[in-house]
Amino acid sequence: MSNTFLYFAYGSNLLTKRIRLSNSTAIMKDIGFIKNFRLDFQRYSKRWCGPSATIVETENFTVWGVIWELDNCNLTTLDCQEGVQDNLYHAMFVNVETPNGTILKCRVYQQCSNPKEYIKPIDFPMNKRPSPLYLNMILKGAEEHNLPTDYIKFLKTIPHNGYEGEYDISLSLIED
């Protein structure tokens, strides 16, 4: 049995600095995408002062992300970071396709309560708009790992909520 597992990150854990805060064994393996899912923002997060990212099963959509390999010792820290114990997210497995066509089975987290209707990100009402810090972390991670230019352009169309107050996260993430 393997001592590691693969994890597909599409939100703040795209950023190396962010995932390694609680998961020091994370090694970037590749980038990839999942088919028939869309990126959305749903449940309000006190940590991020706005809704956090989720994936929603939707035909003809694609979500890009980073495939991390982690030691099994980080399974509980990752679950805890994602709020599994509080029923914020649940873990599931998806087939992630890499740019060279390899299919990898990866652990991914999806919010327990997902939006039913699709709203174009550019038209998000205020309660679906992530905070500037959270959105910037996703963008920085996408750029850090060279996700496709079209996907980064898409991420840049997502409006933020304009939050300018304090955040309850590591200062090392804010100061960059």
Tell me the catalytic residues.
82
Provide the sign of the torsion angle of the four alpha carbons 132, 137, 140, 146, taken in this order. Answer: negative
Q: What does the buried/exposed string (b/e) look like for 71-101 if buried means 16 or more CB atoms within 10 Å of the residue's CB? A: eeebbeebbebbbbeeebbeeeebebeeeee
Closest CA to 155 of 58, 38, 60, 42: 38
* Residue 170 tokens, joined: 């590591």
Residue 143 near residue 113 (C-beta atoms within 8 A)? no
The CA distances from residue 29 to 9, 77, 91, 112, 124, in Å, are: 12, 19, 20, 27, 33
Backbone angles phi, psi at 142, to 5 degrees: -65, -40
* Residue 106 tokens, joined: 């990866």
Give the other-Cβ count within 10 Å of 103's Cβ. Answer: 10
